Copies of this chain bind each other. A is one copy, B any other.
Amino acid sequence: MSYTAPLKDMLFVMNELAGLAQVNALPGCEDATPETVEAILEENAKFCGEVVAPLNHTADKEPSYWADGKVTTSKGFKEAFQQFGQAGWQGVQHPVEFGGQGLPKLVATPCIEMLNSANLSFALCPLLTDGTIEALMTAGSAEQQQTYLANFISGKWTGTMNLTEPQAGSDLALVRTRAQPQGDGTFKLFGTKIFITYGEHDMAENIVHLVLARTPDAPEGVKGISLFVVPKFLVNADGSLGERNDVHCVSIEHKLGIKASPTAVLQFGDHGGAIGTLVGEENRGLEYMFIMMNAARFAVGIQGLSVAERAYQQAAAYARDRVQSRDLAGSPGPVAIIHQPDVRRMLMSMRAQVEGARALAYVAAAASDAAHHHPDEATRKQNQAFYEYLVPVVKGWSTELSIDVTSTGVQVHGGMGFIEETGAAQYYRDARILTIYEGTTAIQANDLVGRKTARDGGAVARDIIAQVRKTAAELDASGDAKLEAIALRLNESAAALEEVVGFVVANIKSDIKAVFAGSVTYLKMAGLVLGGWQMARAAAIAAGKLKAGEGDTQFYSAKLATARFFADQILPQALAYRTAIVDGAESVMALSEDQF
């Protein structure tokens, strides 16, 4: 159950598909030279593999626990988190002025992948802190930034996101937590928040909660929600810790997976009011939270990729190791099960999905960097639109496939996969939250359909599809039969996706239910086609390298075969999705409520 970071594939994707050199050429990204990046990744891989990964299974067996309002995290977490902070890993993508390394998102992304592969439960704490940093960078006052950011980035303090309440899950309009102004610039908060990841723990000196709440005269619904920063310990003017604030963890959840990550129920204001300060302007809380959530959604997409990669590594190791049955050619004795075609099919399916998800996510990260740093405004805008289209796809598709990949990982192990000691089952349990938190797949799909596709009449979607077709045309004209085979599948699926985009745009006004009946299917289809696109690009590059006799032949031939597998075995599902979306809406809403 060890974890070895797939550095070779990460660097290939960064260099060849996501364009690290172009990112490095952007103003403000000068430090991200290929040599520096490789050194950072190697160091991170070492830390994740040696310090964090060994805690994954042990922490699952002995999860974090609650007693008398305090949460004790799993053995080793506290020490590992201290090392994490001291080594500067929290600050990879954050501003130098607050102690970060100020590196591009493209460089932070593989680091996040590695940490999550090593230990999903552990990685959630930094993940939430990243979101908090992002929100305060965008909307926090200079004082708030001064008070909190350096402490987050050094790993001294951690951050949380407090959105959900018992009656307000996907629908934040229903938030009821109250914030009472005290006349001195502070507010007192009262309410209950649930599902708060690392809402209480013992890994840091202070825990800083970003909390959605309503001021007394706030309008109803989502337009009356403000964002507050509420630290567990109040912070004195000199930056030292003051009194204990009135926010208390009353319990943590008993969950299917990510058991070492404490999921808290937080009670605000039961003893007079939890003191907080407003972030940005009143009633704009949801807007700020969305900034934070977009970063967090992308990161959860990476979590899907991460746990899938870990499951793949363990399954491949087991398949090489486990001897059972002869091979089909009739070997003299039993052979390792990796010789069996169905085991191969399972491993290839895991591998192809992982590589496709990685390529798409890293390409999205590079677009985010260009959107922030490119000197040309039109290019910035174009990259921003591309990135925004991809965020729900990366979040939704990578997490949905992680359920499939981790389930296949269990299957490769046979009966041993069902025994908790083996470890494969943990990935299957852990992965199951990923399609739910930070917005369910349906919520991502609403975003993809509404804001990302219908709003501009499908313009961005069609631009992207045109790029897919361009790749397909290049492969088709390559004269290489293997690339032509991939081009065929890519073209078919791109055409199907184009049809679906047309369906969404044409029907969003006249038959909104029919469009949303296919929203998740559209999201999964977009993931397939765009993941398939990146695999096709990778195949073309690999074929070129092989032809030129350059580089690592084993790596490139594997890449080519994996891309071919993706094209033949995975991509054709896009056509079935097309039928489901375009022709299949009628039956979705056909039953009355009491017919269920």
Contacts and interface: CB of A to CB of B under 8 A. Distances in A.
Contact of A596 (B316, B342, B584): B316
Contact of A254 (B334, B419, B485, B579): B419
Interface residues of A, number: 96
A410 interface: yes
Interface of A: 164, 167-171, 173-174, 194-195, 253-257, 316, 319-320, 323-325, 328-329, 334, 336, 338, 340-345, 347-348, 351, 403, 407, 410-411, 414-415, 417-421, 425, 428-429, 432-433, 435-437, 440-442, 445, 485, 489, 512-513, 516-521, 554, 557-558, 561-562, 564-565, 568-569, 572-573, 575-576, 579-580, 583-584, 586-596
Contacts of A428: 256, 432
Given A316-B596, A411-B440, A428-B432, A344 B418 contact: no
Contacts of A429: 256, 429
Contacts of A433: 418
Given A328-B513, A338-B593, 8 more contacts: A253-B418, A256-B420, A403-B407, A415-B436, A561-B590, A568-B579, A572-B576, A572-B580
Contact of A338 (B167, B253, B418, B596): B596
A500 B552 CA distance: 37
B584 A568 contact: yes
A587 B586 CA distance: 37
25 contacts: A169-B324, A170-B325, A253-B418, A254-B421, A256-B410, A256-B419, A256-B425, A316-B596, A328-B512, A342-B445, A342-B516, A342-B519, A344-B591, A345-B520, A345-B521, A414-B436, A418-B433, A554-B592, A557-B590, A565-B587, A565-B588, A568-B579, A568-B586, A568-B587, A573-B576
Nearest to A568: B584
Contact of A411 (B351, B441, B485, B568): B441
* Copies of this subunit: 2
A336 to B, nearest CB: 8
Contacts of A520: 342, 345
A513 B316 CA distance: 19
A45 B143 CA distance: 66
A414 B169 contact: yes
Contacts of A344: 517, 588-589, 591
Contact of A580 (B167, B174, B569): B569
A280 B588 CA distance: 54
A47 B345 CA distance: 43
Contact of A575 (B348, B421, B512, B572): B572
A593 B322 CA distance: 13
Given A557-B595, A568-B587, A572-B575, A420 B328 contact: no
B174 A334 contact: yes
A262 to B, nearest CB: 13
A121 to B, nearest CB: 13
Contacts of A562: 587, 591
Contacts of A169: 324, 414-415
A296 to B, nearest CB: 15
Contacts of A441: 411
